Every structure is written in structure tokens, then in C-alpha cells.
Structure 1
Amino acid sequence: MQTILGANGIIGEELAKALRLTYTDEIKLVGRNPQKLDARDVLYPCDLLDPISVKGALAHTDIAYLTVGLPYQSELWLEQWPRIMENVISGCVAQRCKLVYFDNTYAYDQGSEVQTENTPLKAEGKKGKAKKIAAELLLNAMAKKEIDAVICRAPEFYGPGKTKGITNALVFGNLKKGKEPKVLLRDDVKRTLIFTPDASKAMALIGNTADAYGQTWHLPCDDRRLTYKDFINEISKQLGREVHYGRLSLFIINIAALFSAFLRETKELLPRYAIDNVFDSSKFKKRFPDFNVTTYQEGIRIILNNYKIK
């Protein structure tokens, strides 16, 4: 049995599809109100803040995947991420199952250095600190050989369906609403984005590869990185019309954040939108050379079709 903790987010849903397609027919979907994606799915309602509930959810599990997403609130992250990680580690140890943890880059420094699996976890923002604490709890348990686990780390999402992320919200979300796309701070610095189906497929592959455990892996992204200007130009090319966009300066963001909870919570991440953001996934590509990474051009095409943007 392979169990997904936080199964109803986009990563959990795509992961369930990838697991069933290639690795197993025995999948348990865990969450506060899990919903079947396939008639054969096993559902298990669970509160990840309750250690007894988590232990029960992990019964008869060989591999557990922690893909839960919390509401985008800094204080909530600081309070709940450490508790969730402690409960999941304890549950996996008790049920003798492996753990695959889906992480993001918030715990990294906001500088312009290339991000690798060896990049130190030294974020100063609240969300970054929350993710740093959670990652270090797991790394310590791995170092002590208490748990057989692996960390899969991804940069900002973009993708179809209910993918959430700044690019999806400000670019594709606005286009879907007939509004002008927006970009944060600058349109001339390189971005590294991960296509959500790729992230889940790669995580399923890592989770079912025995020698991948005990490590951190950066999930695969297209290395032909685009600036937001390039990104919008590609959208224009595919739509056959010029797409005009706006750039949100720091001054505008600070004013708008007075009225927008989303922008207030996003301000912690703003420094990385003023510089090249280079997330290196070469370790994964060397170990799994046959993995087909979606190009930005193909990813944009899929999203435009999925969102029915003309």
C-alpha cells in the first residue's frame, strides 16, 4: 500500500495518477475530506495534527508521501508544520513505512546563488523558518537512522488544473478572467518553474527507487529558463495575438498588500523575483536520464488549453 498524506491538492492528485499508472494499484488517499480519483482508491479521513490519527492512517503502508499544503498564512505554518512533521515521522516509525516528503525552496536563502541540494537552509521569513524546522526534523531522524526517508524539493509551481502558485495566479489566472497578466518586480530575470505533473511523476519515481532514499533531490525542471518577458511572449505566440502585461513594482505591491492578504503573505518571497532564480535539478537528471521533462513551451500550451484561454 502506498499512502498519500494530503491527497486532494494538485501534487497529491497527480501523484496518485502516476503511482497507479506505473507502480501500484493499492493507493490510500488521506486528508480531512479525501475524495476518490479512482474507484479502487482507499479513503482515510485524518487530521495530520493528531498523532493517533496519523498513525492510523499509515497502517499497512509501505511508502507514505507527505504532500499536504497548508493555507498561505505565516503564523499557521510556524505553528503547524513542525507538529505535522513530528506526527508523520512518529507514525512512519511506528508503522515501519518509508517516507517521501514533498518540500519547497522557502527555507533557502533569497540570494542569487544557484540552488542545489547542498544549499543551506537559512531563510529568515516566517514561512521559510517553518519549512526549515520541518526539514531539519526529518533530516535529523534520517541521520539517526530512525526512518527511511527522502526529501523531494521543488521551486514555484506552474501547471494545469487547480495548480496554485504566483505565476498561475497572476498570469494564467488573470488571462482566464479576461484580465491583464501581472508579473512581480521585474520581467527580465530568469525564473525556474516546475510543471506540476512533472513534479508528481518524478516524486513517484524517486519513492519507488530503493537507492534514492537517505538523500535530498531537486525535482526536474526545464533548464532553458525564461524571463517573464519571454514567458508572456511565448503565450502571445501560441495565442496568435499580443498579450499586454503589467509589472507590479515594490511600491505598488506594498500599497496593494494593505488590501490583499495574498500579497501580504507573498512579500516574504519578493527578493527572489528581483534576481535570477536558478534551481538546479542536474542530480535527478543524471540519475534518471530517461525522464521526460516538460518544456516551458509545452507546459504553456497545456495550461492555455486546460484553462480554455483563446
Structure 2
Amino acid sequence: MQTILGAGGAIGIELAKSLTAYTSKIRLVSRNPKKVNDTDHIISADLGERAQVFEAIKGSSIVYVTIGFPYKLKIWQQQWPKFIKNVIDACIEHNCKLVFFDNIYMYDPNFLDGMNEETPINPPSKKGKIRVEIAGMIMEKVKKGELEALIARSADFYGPNIKNSSILTEMVFKPLSTGKKANWMASLNYKHSFTYTPDAAKATALLGNSSQAYNQVWHLPTAKNPYTGKEWIETIAKEMGVKPGIQVASRLIVKIMGLFIPIMREMPEMMYQYDRDYVFNSDKFDSHFNFKTTPYLEGIKEIVKSDY
């Protein structure tokens, strides 16, 4: 049995599709789980409760953590460390492997241009400090030989059918689709990588089912040569057949946007990712696996075809 904790999000749904290449025994766990594949096992659980985490993991060979707690600092501080401790304890007790889907908030902001698995850890944000803590909890148990686990890191992600967890969807696709100007934070002139969600999910499934991938950190496959903010907006607008209206959002404007767009409320402390080149390197993955990464233009075309 391979289990996904947080199965209803953008990554969890795509991961459930991808795991069918390796097993027909897939367990989806969330508050209101829905089958992605006909053979899926579903468990409704409050993953904030230790006993329910243990019950959800019981009988699993591999556990994937793709849960996304509400994007609020206080909730992250309260929930992430407690949840990860429970998952680690349950995986150790039930002798199962752990695959943790992570982001890059923990990296030193001075090294975001070409960031890889060796990029210095020095988060400038409070959310980043939480990511350092929980990744450290996992790798500490790995180093002690108590847990077999891997960390799969993604850049900001984009993809079809993402409702409210992608900055690119909220800032560009949705406004342009309703005749409004696209938004971008800080500056239009810097490159910004985005990881395509179907690629991220396929790669996470591949890592989870590759014994040699464990006990280390991996960057998930991401297209090279990312667009600048201006190029992202112009390319998306062209594919949508609309004018590329643009509004650059200052810190004040981002705060105002947060009154109407929940994900934007917590973005001011993350704006450093948009005032410099943000280029994600996945050469380690690319050199180990035969994987075709989706080009940016192809990903944009697929999103335009979908319901965002």
C-alpha cells in the first residue's frame, strides 16, 4: 500500500494518477477524500490528530506527504512541526518509507540563481524557518538510521486545474481570463522558474519507488531557461488571445490584494523571491533518471485548455 497524506491538493491528485505505474494499492487520505483512480482506497481523517495519522499510515510501504496547511504563518507554526513528528513516529512504528514534498523557502536568498540541493540554508522568512525545522526533523532520523526517507523539492508550481494554490494562476491566468491586468510582484525583469505539477507528481512517484533515491534531497525536474515576469505574462496572454495588461505589485499593493485573494495575504515576506533571479536547478534528478520535462510553453498551453 502506498499512501498519500493530503490527497486532495494539486500535487496529491496528480501523484495518485502517477502512482498507478507502480501499484494498484493506493490510499488517499484527507478530510474529504475522493477517488482519483477506480481502485483507490480512501480514508477520511483529521491529520492534525496523532491517532488518526497513525491509523492512516498503518499498513503502508511508502507514505507521501503532500498536505498543504492553510497558508498562514500562525497555522504553520502550530501545525507543521506537530504533524511531521507524528508522521515520522508513525512511519518508524509501522516500518514504512517517507517521501516529503517540500519547497525552497529555506534557501539563502543570495543563492536563488541556480539553486540546487547544495544551496546554503539561511531562510529570510518565518515560513522558511519552519521548513528548515521540519526538514531537519526528517533528516535527523535518517542520519540516526531510524527512518528511510527522501525530500523532494519543487520550485513554485504551475499546472492545469489548480484552483487556489498557485501564484501564477492567481496573479496571471485568472486576471487575464476575466479581462483584468495580470499582476507580478516586485519586478518584471527577473527570471522565475516554475515546476509543472504533472512533472512534479510523476517524478515524486518515481523517486518513491526507486530504492537508491532514499536518504537524500532531490530537486524535482523543472524546465531550464525560465521566463522573466514580463515574458511569463506576455506568453500566457498570447496563448489566451488577450492583451498582456500588466500591473507590478509593490508591497502595499500585495497587502491590498490580500484582502480579496487569500494566498496573497501572506506574500509580503516572500517578495524577495521576485526581486532577483529565481532559477531552479534539477540537474541531479536529470542525470539520474530518463525523464522528459515539460517545456514552459507546452505547460502554458495545457493550462489554457483547462479550467485553471
Question: What is the TM-score when the length of structure 2 is the normalising length?
Answer: 0.94
2:84 is aligned to 85
The percent identity for this pair of structures is 40
Q: Map Cα deviations across residues 60-88 of structure 1 (whole Å, 9 max, x no partner).
A: 11111000001010011011110111000
Instruction: Tell me, in whole angstroms, the C-alpha distance in 2 between the residues paired with 1:99 and 1:183.
Output: 35
For 1:195-234, list aligned pairs within 5 A: 195-234=196-235
TM superposition shift of 1:124 = 3.4
Further displaced range: 228-237 or 7-16:
228-237
Q: Which residue identity is paired with 1:126?
A: K
TM superposition shift of 1:45 = 1.7
Instruction: Tell me, in whole angstroms, the C-alpha distance in 2 between the residues paired with 1:307 and 1:175.
Output: 13
TM superposition shift of 1:47 = 2.2
* Runs of 5+ consecutive residues of structure 1 not aligned to the other structure: none
1:43 is aligned to 42
For 1:98-247, list aligned pairs within 5 A: 98-113=97-112, 114-162=114-162, 164-247=165-248
Root mean square deviation, CA, Å = 1.7
TM superposition shift of 1:240 = 4.4
Instruction: Tell me, in whole angstroms, the C-alpha distance in 2 between the residues paired with 1:253 and 1:71.
Output: 18
Instruction: Tell me, in whole angstroms, the C-alpha distance in 1 between the residues paired with 2:22 and 2:123.
Output: 36
For 1:19-38, list aligned pairs within 5 A: 19-20=19-20, 22-38=21-37
Q: Map Cα deviations across residues 147-189 of structure 1 (whole Å, 9 max, x no partner).
A: 1100000010111102522111110121233322111111110
Instruction: Tell me, in whole angstroms, the C-alpha distance in 2 between the residues paired with 1:260 and 1:161.
Output: 18
Instruction: Tell me, in whole angstroms, the C-alpha distance in 2 between the residues paired with 1:180 and 1:39.
Output: 41
TM superposition shift of 1:204 = 0.3
Report the count of equivalent residues: 306
SS in 2 for 1:99: strand
Instruction: Tell me, in whole angstroms, the C-alpha distance in 2 between the residues paired with 1:82 and 1:226.
Output: 35
Instruction: Tell me, in whole angstroms, the C-alpha distance in 2 between the residues paired with 1:61 and 1:271.
Output: 39
8 A Cα contact 1:189 1:228, kept in partner: yes
2:303 is aligned to 303
SS in 1 for 2:279: coil
Q: Map Cα deviations across residues 255-298 of structure 1 (whole Å, 9 max, x no partner).
A: 5557765433011110110000011110000001x211011100
Further displaced range: 170-179 or 238-247:
238-247
Instruction: Tell me, in whole angstroms, the C-alpha distance in 2 between the residues paired with 1:281 and 1:300.
Output: 20
Instruction: Tell me, in whole angstroms, the C-alpha distance in 1 between the residues paired with 2:185 and 2:25.
Output: 42
Q: Which residue identity is paired with 2:180?
A: K
SS in 2 for 1:111: helix
Instruction: Tell me, in whole angstroms, the C-alpha distance in 1 between the residues paired with 2:98 and 2:166.
Output: 25
8 A Cα contact 2:62 2:208, kept in partner: yes
TM superposition shift of 1:228 = 1.4
Are residues 15 and 258 of structure 1, via their aligned partners in 2, closer, same or farther at CA, if it must alter by over 3 Å? closer
8 A Cα contact 1:111 1:272, kept in partner: no
Instruction: Tell me, in whole angstroms, the C-alpha distance in 2 between the residues paired with 1:169 and 1:259.
Output: 11
Q: Which residue identity is paired with 2:266?
A: E
Instruction: Tell me, in whole angstroms, the C-alpha distance in 2 between the residues paired with 1:258 and 1:298.
Output: 33
Are residues 13 and 255 of structure 1, via their aligned partners in 2, closer, same or farther at CA, if it must alter by over 3 Å? closer
* Runs of 5+ consecutive residues of structure 2 not aligned to the other structure: none
TM superposition shift of 1:208 = 0.5
Q: Map Cα deviations across residues 216-262 of structure 1 (whole Å, 9 max, x no partner).
A: 00001100211011112222433445322211123433555577654
Further displaced range: 174-183 or 202-211:
174-183
Q: Which residue identity is paired with 1:207?
A: G
Instruction: Tell me, in whole angstroms, the C-alpha distance in 2 between the residues paired with 1:78 and 1:254.
Output: 21
Are residues 5 and 179 of structure 1, via their aligned partners in 2, closer, same or farther at CA, if it must alter by over 3 Å? same
Runs of at least 4 residues off by over 6 Å? none
For 1:262-277, list aligned pairs within 5 A: 262-277=263-278
Further displaced range: 113-122 or 169-178:
113-122
Instruction: Tell me, in whole angstroms, the C-alpha distance in 1 between the residues paired with 2:173 and 2:85.
Output: 36
Instruction: Tell me, in whole angstroms, the C-alpha distance in 2 between the residues paired with 1:38 and 1:200.
Output: 15
2:7 is aligned to 7
Q: Which residue identity is paired with 2:91?
A: C
Instruction: Tell me, in whole angstroms, the C-alpha distance in 2 between the residues paired with 1:181 and 1:122.
Output: 31
Instruction: Tell me, in whole angstroms, the C-alpha distance in 2 between the residues paired with 1:265 and 1:100.
Output: 26
Instruction: Tell me, in whole angstroms, the C-alpha distance in 2 between the residues paired with 1:253 and 1:44.
Output: 38
Question: What is the TM-score when the length of structure 1 is the normalising length?
Answer: 0.94
